[in-house]
Copies of this chain bind each other. A is one copy, B any other.
Amino acid sequence: MEKFTKFLLSENEMPRQWYNIMADMPNKPLPPLHPGTGKPVGPEDLAAVFPMELIKQEVSTERYIDIPEEVFDLYRTYRPSPLFRARNLEKALGTKSRIYYKYEGGNYSGSHKANTAIPQAYYNKMEGVRRITTETGAGQWGSAMSFACNHFGLELLVFMVRVSFDQKPGRKLMMNTYNARVVPSPSTMTAAGRKVLEADPDSPGSLGIAISEAMEVAVQDPYTKYALGSVLNHVILHQTIIGQEALIQMAKADDYPDVVLGCFGGGSNFSGIAFPFLRENLLNGKKTRLVTIEPASCPKLTKGKFMYDFGDQSGMTPLLPMYSLGHNFIPDKIHAGGLRYHGAGVLVSQLLKDGFVEAKAKFQRECFEGGVLFARTEGILPAPESTYAIAGALDEARRADIDGVSRSILFNLSGHGHFDISAYEKYFEGNLPDHEVTAEEVDRSIAQLNLPVF
């Protein structure tokens, strides 16, 4: 096997179930709270925005959940995704370590987001929903959802964060090609959007604002529901197909990872690859380190507070127990639009608190440097988001060489950067500013909110 570069699976070998980390977490997460009553929210509180099957998945403690046949039929048009040994990158680094990456950018949408877009559209369709509203940052999630909704005969309205709307016109056109309507956020279409625009007509927007707008539209019509591309438990559940496949592929490579890395926005691509390996740590005595890489300019895991906070900017979601920078926090306009989110998913937050995962932060300049090295050696032009995982993997390889050992390093290459090429232009021009958010800034952001911090 030593010389193989690419580890594929046949459709026969594809996992048929998602893995639910809730079954195996030593400490279950705290419940989401109703902001009015302060009581845990029940399924009925969520029924206005999500179909019942997704609400069930949100709270399920079953270890495995079957992938429906109709979802599997679309999964197999692009899954299993390949797992690569990065031999040319290893050579360029001169490292003794083995670097692997799971490439999730090879599908129609160009990122891992297809893995949850398809089941979300499917479950909505099954429950008679006619229209979906959603947010998107860089546009990966919106593209994934556009095709999935069109496939299942659902209308889609996408609120796209304005800074990304302006940076990445190709993504908007792609969503249009898949029949979706795309509106820059903040917009004048919602009360939430108008309020932001009154305070700052030039607001670059944020995922938190776009979520508020999408939810506001969804709750006004019984046949319209809302869909979220990250953060929530059911989203992360769907993404575990990545790690489930990677486990089989690493076995084909006759190797097992010492460390697994993913970039971090709300948690879905990291959790997707990491949780099946975490299960092996928890149940089968493995000792793989699981490492998130987030932007220094949006450092919720490394500098945020563990607290109950809203998932959106205007406070429409339940209060979620998570690491947060405060739901009013507006991150720098970095090119990794998918990582510009103030909070972290509940599952990862609890696991970080309990010491089962690690968190690191990086500047975008260093990440693009890694991304360019990766493109020149491995060929694939990575999404700005994915360059954070690359930079994290490069650190691990360099540290192993300093330690004089060969480690097995696996990261999730969550998407390609074909619609983000102008970000590379900025990098080559030396024009990629971002700043390290300080503890004081976080304190100020959270102090405004009047919400309890643990």
Could you tell me which A residues sit within 8 Å of B by CB distance?
Answer: 4-6, 8, 10-11, 73, 76-78, 84, 88, 106-110, 147, 150-151, 169-170, 173-174, 176-179, 372, 375-381, 416, 418-419, 421-422, 424-425, 428
| A103: nearest chain-B partner, CB-CB | B106
| A78: nearest chain-B partner, CB-CB | B379
30 sampled A-B residue pairs with Cβ under 8 A: A4-B11, A4-B76, A5-B11, A6-B76, A6-B77, A8-B10, A77-B379, A88-B151, A107-B379, A108-B380, A108-B381, A147-B376, A151-B377, A169-B421, A170-B170, A170-B418, A170-B421, A170-B422, A173-B422, A173-B425, A174-B381, A174-B421, A176-B425, A177-B375, A177-B381, A177-B421, A177-B424, A177-B428, A179-B376, A416-B418
The answer to whether residues A177 and B108 also contact, given A11-B4, A76-B5 and a CB cut-off of 8 A, is: no
> A372 touching B177 by the CB < 8 A rule?
yes
If A108-B381, A170-B418 are given as contacts, then 17 extra A-B residue pairs at C-beta distance below 8 Å, sorted by A number, are A5-B73, A5-B76, A5-B77, A6-B78, A77-B378, A107-B379, A110-B418, A147-B376, A147-B379, A150-B376, A170-B421, A176-B425, A177-B372, A177-B424, A177-B428, A178-B375, A418-B419
| A147: nearest chain-B partner, CB-CB | B379
Measured in the bound complex, the distance between the Cα atoms of B381 and A422 in whole Å is: 20
Measured in the bound complex, the distance between the Cα atoms of B169 and A425 in whole Å is: 11
Measured in the bound complex, the distance between the Cα atoms of B381 and A416 in whole Å is: 14
> A108 touching B379 by the CB < 8 A rule?
yes
B-chain residues with CB within 8 Å of residue A179 when the two chains form the complex: 376
Question: What are the nearest 10 A-B pairs in CB distance?
Answer: A108-B379, A418-B418, A170-B421, A173-B421, A5-B76, A173-B425, A177-B424, A108-B380, A147-B379, A5-B77
- Could you say which of A150, A372, A378, A418 has the most chain B C-beta atoms within 10 Å of its C-beta? A418
> B379 touching A176 by the CB < 8 A rule?
no
Measured in the bound complex, the distance between the Cα atoms of B88 and A107 in whole Å is: 15
| A418: nearest chain-B partner, CB-CB | B418
> A178 touching B376 by the CB < 8 A rule?
yes
| A110: nearest chain-B partner, CB-CB | B418
Contact check: which of B8, B107, B173, B380 meets A8 at CB < 8 Å? B8
Measured in the bound complex, the distance between the Cα atoms of B138 and A55 in whole Å is: 47
Measured in the bound complex, the distance between the Cα atoms of B378 and A109 in whole Å is: 11
- Expressed in whole angstroms, the minimum distance between the Cβ of A16 and any Cβ of chain B is 14
| A425: nearest chain-B partner, CB-CB | B173
| A375: nearest chain-B partner, CB-CB | B177
| A176: nearest chain-B partner, CB-CB | B428
| A79: nearest chain-B partner, CB-CB | B6
Measured in the bound complex, the distance between the Cα atoms of B109 and A375 in whole Å is: 11
Measured in the bound complex, the distance between the Cα atoms of B4 and A416 in whole Å is: 26
